[in-house]
Amino acid sequence: MASKVYPKAIELLNAGTLNWTADTIRILLVNASGSYNRTHGFVSAVVANELSGGSYARQTLGTKTSADNGTDKWIFDAADVTFTAVAGGQTAAAAIVYKFITNDAASPVLAFLDGVDVVANGGDITVQFAATGVFNLAY
């Protein structure tokens, strides 16, 4: 499966209630059962498949930028993130980016990032964002 932007992200952008650089944007890791579903609107719909154990904790994205790349894409980017000491015996299949509000039921999902594919062994898992950013919108 390819990475995708959730419809909720488009809704928030359209309503003017998503400010990529000012809002608290976080990321979590899910196992292979945590597949993309366009009807998922909030983190509460995806947490059943979230990794756990060790020192795993959701991460806040830093050094966020949002800009036109000059080739008909708007790039939403951030610094790479590291999840430290993730308990072994589980696979991080994908990452989900979301806008943190107050709790999982209020925090809208923004993007599903496929292809993390790392088997945890008690060490760190780093999610590196490509040149196309965390996600992008073509126009």
Please indicate whether residue 71 or residue 61 has the higher confidence score (pLDDT): 61
Q: For residue range 74-130, what is the model confidence (pLDDT) as tens digits?
A: 999 999 999 999 999 999 999 999 999 999 999 999 999 998 999 999 999 999 998
Can you tell me whether residue 82 is helix, strand or coil? strand
Residue position matching structure tokens 């994205």 = 61
Q: For residue range 17-56, what is the model confidence (pLDDT) as tens digits?
A: 999 999 999 999 999 999 999 999 999 999 999 999 989 9
Query: Given a cut of 80, is residue 70 above it in pLDDT?
Result: yes
For residues 94 and 33, the answer to whether their CB atoms sit within 8 Å is no
pLDDT at position 27 is: 98
Can you tell me whether residue 130 is helix, strand or coil? strand
pLDDT at position 131 is: 82
Q: CA torsion sign, 58 to 63 to 64 to 69?
A: negative
The two three-digit tokens of residue 49, written as one number: 């498949």
Taking the C-alpha atoms of residue 56 and residue 71, their distance in angstroms, rounded to an integer, is 37
Q: What is the pTM of this model?
A: 0.95
Report in angstroms the alpha-carbon separations of 139 from 47, 71, 76, 120. 32, 9, 14, 37
Residue position matching structure tokens 């003017």 = 16
Residue ranges of the domains in the chain? 4-138
Query: Given a cut of 80, is residue 2 above it in pLDDT?
Result: no
pLDDT at position 34 is: 93
pLDDT at position 115 is: 87
Taking the C-alpha atoms of residue 124 and residue 139, their distance in angstroms, rounded to an integer, is 36
Residue type, 41: G
Query: Given a cut of 60, is residue 1 above it in pLDDT?
Result: no
pLDDT at position 139 is: 87
